[in-house]
Structure 1
Amino acid sequence: MAPKKKARVSERAVNSGKDDGETASPVKQKVGDKRKVSAESGKSKESSESPGSPHYCHWLMKSEPESRFENGIDVKFGIEDLKALSNQTSCWDGVRNYQARNFMRQMKEGQLAFFYHSNCKEPGIAGITEIVKEAYVDHTQFDKKDVHYDATSKADNPKWSMVDVQYQRMMKRFLPLSELKKYHLQHRAKGGPLKDMALFTRARLSVQPLTTEEFDFVLSLEDKEPLRT
């Protein structure tokens, strides 16, 4: 497993007012070719979901890139921290919201996720990671020294799960929350891929699902000039 890093925004942090949402940490395995992002096409090769399906193919995962201490421990973990690891892989631990946990339990190896910087001066999408290990028991829930220790969780019936993610690449340009919000409002009024994006409809979740249409539209923005209003 990757060196211990604090890579989440805790559920407590999302009420600090710096961001619209709640946040969570990100092991190196061979990366499959089945769901790569094509830098040329700007599209994911993932197949589309069936209409109305509760299962998703893409994700947005929030983490704090700026230092913040909980019980003397710095929970900072931005995409640069993930990139700097020797294997560019880490567990995504510390999620303490049931819905966010359930989304992680849906994740499949090879799926892609946007790495979103949260609870900071300029929140937004900084890069792309890949799920390289599907949900398993989050060990931090049993560690009394960890800021995410949960005394109510039992070893024979653990409450919390985590996945492993691997750095794929930085976005060609940082996509700030302010710009994404403009598209959301525009699409909500006139129709468009981001009209129901969870970043705005379920903003406090640290782990959020994305449809293929949402993922591909957001990905296309890195090749465009920032939206002006």
Structure 2
Amino acid sequence: MNYWLLKSEPDVFGIDDLKKQKTTIWDGVRNYQARNFLKAMQVGDLAFFYHSSTEPPGIVGLCKVIETHLADPSQFDPRSPYFDPGSTVDNPRWWTVRVGFVEKFERMLTLELLRQNFSPDELILLRRGNRLSVMPVATDVAERIIALKASR
């Protein structure tokens, strides 16, 4: 099993939305490196759900990859802000996964708390200038994040 971090703005789609819907596709990713991370995901992988563009930002829960290698349908919809006229059904450019709700944390693991406990070398999220919405998390770092949620 691998670990990942998925960013979303809570006013667009937050952990409570995922809890209510139970599953969702992770659509709208339009960065090639993030897309490649989505393509590398496997069923059963866990992802930390991170609320971005909010005050404070932070990890708010966990979700699980339940389906992989899905063509992102938003690339084919001309009304979508994620429409890509270069993509076709026969040759899609953008891929995604379906995730399922696992857990909402009792407290947010704020970006500041993450900075206090991890270095930028350990957690890509903390690297200067990083804007990726999908990123891998090393197993040892993921285990430490999970332990952090239990500590007070």
Mapped partners of 2:91, 2:121: distance in 1 = 38
Mapped partners of 2:18, 2:125: distance in 1 = 22
Q: Does 1:148 align with 2:82?
A: yes
Q: Does 1:165 align with 2:99?
A: yes
Structure 1 SS opposite 2:146: helix
Give the length in aligned residue pairs: 151
TM-score (normalizing by structure 2): 0.93
1:195 deviates by 3.8
Q: Does 1:80 align with 2:7?
A: no
Q: Does 1:90 align with 2:19?
A: no
Structure 1 residue identity aligned to 2:51: H
Structure 2 SS opposite 1:133: strand
Mapped partners of 1:102, 1:195: distance in 2 = 20
Structure 1 SS opposite 2:150: coil
Q: What is the aligned partner in structure 2 of residue 216 from structure 1?
A: 143
Q: Deviations over 1:164-199 (max 9, x none)?
A: 000001113210011101223xxx4xxxxx642111
On the 8 A contact 2:122/2:141 being kept in 1, the answer is: no
Mapped partners of 1:65, 1:178: distance in 2 = 18
Mapped partners of 1:156, 1:169: distance in 2 = 36
On the 8 A contact 2:68/2:97 being kept in 1, the answer is: yes
Q: What is the aligned partner in structure 2 of residue 60 from structure 1?
A: 5
List 4+ stretches of structure 1 deviating above 3 A. Answer: none
Q: Which has the higher helix share?
A: 2
Q: What is the aligned partner in structure 1 of residue 125 from structure 2?
A: 199
1:156 deviates by 2.4
Q: Which has the higher strand share?
A: 2
Structure 2 residue identity aligned to 1:62: K
TM-score (normalizing by structure 1): 0.63
1:111 deviates by 0.9
Unaligned residue ranges in structure 2 (runs of 5+): none
Alignment of 1:84-163 (within 5 A): 84-85=20-21, 88-163=22-97
Q: What is the aligned partner in structure 2 of residue 8 from structure 1?
A: none
Structure 1 residue identity aligned to 2:143: D
Structure 1 SS opposite 2:114: helix
Mapped partners of 2:6, 2:48: distance in 1 = 6
Mapped partners of 1:216, 1:163: distance in 2 = 23
Structure 2 residue identity aligned to 1:168: V
Mapped partners of 2:138, 2:105: distance in 1 = 19
* Identity across the alignment (%): 41
Q: Deviations over 1:131-180 (max 9, x none)?
A: 00012111110101111111222332211001000000111321001110
Unaligned residue ranges in structure 1 (runs of 5+): 1-45, 47-56, 67-75, 189-193
